Each structure stands twice: as structure tokens, then as C-alpha cells.
Structure 1
Amino acid sequence: MGNSAINAGGLRERKRAATRATITAVARSLTAERGLSGYTVEEVCERAGISRRTFFNYFPTKEDAILGHIDDDFPEEVVARFMAGGAGSPAGEISASLLDDLVRLSLDLSERMSASEEETRQLIGVIKKEPQLMLRIIGATEEREADFARLLAAREGVAADHPVVRMAVVLLGNVARKTSADYFSEGNTRPYKDMLLENISAARTLFSLPFTMSSSDTSQSNPSEGAQ
């Protein structure tokens, strides 16, 4: 395949990504303004400058448009930089730079939020009032965490159910969500980066404390059980 064909394919994908991101931005903006039931797909299309058919080529419902596409959450260049960080470690061994690279990835992604901060604050308020949207977000979060686990496992050369991979996804995901909730809370003036690094530092302090329990300890019977 020639370079022109490769470039054309890349250009088409960039255009698709731009259209997809525009649809999501418009859907989120309208949801923030009016609530989920306060606008139609046609209004999304009008603001985005697309046809109704184009909308449904990208998203099956308004809810899906609001959630966006995982490729928009994980831009190619950001993912490539993260994946390259594990190149120096032998396959099957967790790289020493993994935690640093995960934090850098979180910061890179936070800087690329498609919605403005004000739109995001409004959207958070809408989500609290829209139970059906919250359920969809929970489901989408689980899917994206599974996708991220596969990405992380591929970088480290281990299985997706490797304990370190599973805990990295769960722990870092919850730290990021907690940081975002605090960052977008009313009255906050602190930068996201400072808050994330503070929370990561607190987690590291917790997990650096002495831990003496072993698996054999958990297999021992509870003394109170023998007295019954």
C-alpha cells in the first residue's frame, strides 16, 4: 500500500473522529442546557451541521452520543506514548515506570477533555437528575475499564486478568473519579493536576504501611467458631 493510500486512510479516520467528537460535544451541551428529554436528535444534527442519517451512523441513541466513543477518550497519540513507556521491560514483568506512566496518562487525558469545564459542571448536575443516564454511564465505565485493562496488559505483556493489571484499573480509576468529583465540586479553585497527585501520594502512603497478613492467616479458623 502506498503512502498516499495510508495518508488518505488516516485523514478519513481523523475526519470521522472530528465528526464523532462534535456530535458528542453538542449532545452534552444540549443535555446540560435542557436535560436529556429536552431536545431531539434533529436539534443535535442541526447544531453539529450533519444529517440525521450521519448521526445514526455514529451513535444509536442520544445517550450513546452523550457518553461518546472510547477512541475519543483515549486519543491515539496519548495511547502510543503510554504504550511506549513499557518497551524497555521484559514481557511478563511489570515495568518499573508503570505507576508514573499511568499518572501521566491520567493528566494527559484530563487536558484533552472535549467539553469545557462549565459544560462538564452542568453535565454533572444533569446526570444526578437522570437515573437512566447514570445507569448507562456505569455500564459504559465498566466496558471502558475492561478495554483499558486489555491495553495495559498488552503494554506489560501479561494477561488481562493479571492481579496488578486488575488493581491498577480499579485503584487508579477510583482515584481519578474521586479527583474529578472534587475538582468539579462547587467552590473548588485548585488545579486538577495538584489534586490528582495529592490523592496518588495519599494512596501510596497507605499502601506503603506495614502489611504482615499472609494467605495462610486467612485460611485459619476464627477462634470464636470453635467455641460454638
Structure 2
Amino acid sequence: MIQSASDRRAELRREITAYARRLTATSGLQGFTVEDLCEHAGISRRTFFNYFPGKEQAVIGEYGDGVDPAAVDAFLDGRADGIKGISPNLLEDLLTLAAAHFAVIGLTPAEAGAFFAAAHREPKLVEQLMRRGEEHHHYMTMLVGTREGLVSEHPVAHMAVTLCDAIVQSGVRQFLSPDNTHTLPEIFQTRLDAAKQIFAAALPN
């Protein structure tokens, strides 16, 4: 399959980010230069600055590179006709969208380890990561509201995304564990099934 120009740019941005995280994890942000990063990534300094304004931004990465437009469209189209109230498959579809996100960025134990190590080495990156998390939550809440026909900032949209985030966070931890043998969608489904049991038990008979 022939890659589009935008796909090639996204792939290169992800490669630059991967190198930036590895270098930060081993040397800290002050332990390498943009030139060092360019040498590792096999790009020119000019190319680097076409993608990122600096090293910190390269470590954090470009948010849009993890968004699969086709998966977003499928999520928005996932509400069945004639449904009243919230779609019964909303959480399943949110988790499918999350799995597509991780497939795009190529989540692996090695890459995740470099990311966490970089954040541990440079605590100031944590603030940027928190802002990125808030941006992601707002974006996902907007998608839920659009799909389900909810008014802006509706609490149901926020809670749906919050529940999805909790399942994703615990699922990713299992996925990255050395002894894991399951795919990320399988792990998400197991956790969703457990959450459904808890909520079903809380409902009046």
C-alpha cells in the first residue's frame, strides 16, 4: 500500500519522538543536543524544526499522530438508528477507538519503557503530559457528545470517557507486563466485562 505524504510525515514524527525519548531516558534533556537527536534519527536540523520547535516537544510527541481518522469516523457512526438515551455499546466503541490509537502509535514495552523513563528523568515533562491528558479527555468527551447528541460538557460524556480511561490505564499495564499473552483489545474486553458485572450488581432488581 502506498503511503500518503501525511502518513509519511506522521511516521517520521513518531520516529523522531522515539529517539528523543530514548536519549532523554539515558541522558536527560540537557545531556544531548538537537544535532545529536538528528544524527540518531538520520535527519537534518532543518527537518527536525519542521516537525518540532524543540526537544521537549519532540519527547511529548504530536497528539494528532495517534489519531486514526477512520477509527474516529467509525466511532461517530456507531450509534444505531432508533436508540433512545445512551448507546448500549458506547463503552465498547470507546475502547475500540482507544485500541486503534495504540495501534497507530505502535505501543510496545520498549517504547513505553522509554517514555516512562524519560518522564522520570525529567519531571518537568510531567506537567506537559498532564496537559496532554486533559486535551485528550476534552477531545474524547467532545466525540462522545457529538455521537450521542449530548449538550456540551454533559456529565454523562465526561463519565463515559473517565470510565474508558480507567479501563485503558489498567489494561495497558497488563499489556506491557513481561508475562502478558493477550492482545490489547482482549484485555480491554475482559476489564469491560468485569465493570459491567459491578454495575449490574448495583442495579435494583
Q: TM-score range by the shorter chain?
A: 0.7 to 0.9
Which among 170, 188, 192 is matched to residue 179 of structure 2? Answer: 188
Query: How far off its partner does 1:172 sit?
Result: 0.7
Which among 170, 191, 211 is matched to residue 162 of structure 2? Answer: 170
Structure with larger RCO (C-alpha < 8 A, sep 6+): 2
Query: How far off its partner does 1:142 sit?
Result: 0.7
Report the secondary structure of 2:147's partner residue. Answer: helix
Tell me, yes or no, if the aligned pair for 1:45 and 1:55 is still in contact at 8 Å. Answer: yes
Q: How does 1:86-97 map to 2 (within 5 A)?
A: 86=79, 88-89=80-81, 93-97=85-89
Tell me, yes or no, if the aligned pair for 1:127 and 1:134 is still in contact at 8 Å. Answer: yes
Q: What is the root-mean-square deviation of aligned Cα atoms in Å? A: 2.7
Name the amino acid aligned to 1:134.
V
The residue that corresponds to 1:31 in the other structure is 24
Instruction: Tell me the TM-score normalised to structure 2 length.
Output: 0.81
- After TM superposition, which residue ranges in structure 1, 4 or more long, deviate above 6 angstroms? none
The superposition leaves residues 87-137 of structure 1 with CA deviations (integer Å, 9 ceiling, x where unpaired) of x34699433321221122222223333354223223323423431122221
Unaligned runs of 5+ in 2: none
Provide the C-alpha distance between the structure 2 equivalents of 1:201 and 1:115, rounded to a whole number of angstroms. 23
The residue that corresponds to 1:47 in the other structure is 40
After superposition, the Cα gap between the structure-2 partners of 1:37 and 1:115, relative to the gap in structure 1 and judged at 3 Å, is: farther
Report the secondary structure of 2:111's partner residue. Answer: helix
Q: Sequence identity of aligned pairs in percent?
A: 34
Q: State whether structure 2 residue 111 is matched by structure 1 residue 124.
A: no
Q: State whether structure 2 residue 141 is matched by structure 1 residue 149.
A: yes
Q: State whether structure 2 residue 64 is matched by structure 1 residue 64.
A: no
More divergent stretch after superposition (29-38 vs 17-26): 29-38
Provide the C-alpha distance between the structure 2 equivalents of 1:89 and 1:42, rounded to a whole number of angstroms. 55
Unaligned runs of 5+ in 1: 1-9, 213-228
Name the amino acid aligned to 1:45.
C
Q: State whether structure 2 residue 67 is matched by structure 1 residue 74.
A: yes
Name the amino acid aligned to 2:112.
T
Q: How does 1:104-115 map to 2 (within 5 A)?
A: 104-114=96-106
The superposition leaves residues 177-224 of structure 1 with CA deviations (integer Å, 9 ceiling, x where unpaired) of 122234334x43242334322222222222222357xxxxxxxxxxxx
